[in-house]
Amino acid sequence: MSERYLKKIEILERELEYINSHEITGEVTERAALYSLQIGIESGMDIIAMKIKELGLVVEDDYTNIEKLIQGNVIGLKEGALLKEFNGIRNAVVHKYNNLEMAIITEALERIAEFAEVIFKIAE
């Protein structure tokens, strides 16, 4: 595994650790959790783009890159759906901060390990 993959995995693991070891108890911890979620997902999307390039394909937007991994049998449909879901959550955090449904965010925080497992598989 290349050093570039390892750096991105390290970032994802660090954010995963933060999310798993901190409870949202107020605005500050909520913002910190949202930041960790955003950075963790972005690291995963970077790994996906790196894999697309490694496969000799053209890197495009995140959703198209995920589709390419599904079509190339790198990941299954269920894994692809999970990645797309998390990418959508990242987009919501980045672009709709004032209108976030915290129930969706809380569920994502609880399921971030599932996202990480798929990303680790892609990075192998």
Q: Share the mean pLDDT of the chain.
A: 94
Q: Identify which of 96, 107, 1, 86 has the alpha carbon closest to the alpha carbon of residue 39.
A: 86
Does residue 90 have an active-site annotation?
yes
**pLDDT tens digits for range 36-83:** 999 999 999 999 999 999 999 999 999 999 999 999 999 999 999 999
User: Of the residues 4, 31, 95, 111, which is catalytic?
Assistant: 95
At residue 97, does pLDDT exceed 70?
Answer: no
User: Of the residues 14, 22, 31, 90, which is catalytic?
Assistant: 90
What is the pTM assigned to this prediction? 0.93
Q: Which residue segments constitute the domains of the chain, with CATH numbers given?
A: 3-123 (1.20.120.580)
Q: Identify which of 109, 117, 116 has the alpha carbon closest to the alpha carbon of residue 33.
A: 109
Q: Would you state the pLDDT for residue 96? A: 75
Does residue 95 have an active-site annotation?
yes
Q: Would you state the pLDDT for residue 17? A: 95
Q: Would you state the pLDDT for residue 1? A: 74
Q: Identify which of 52, 120, 48, 56 has the alpha carbon closest to the alpha carbon of residue 84.
A: 48
Determine phi and psi for 105, rounding to 5 degrees: -65, -45
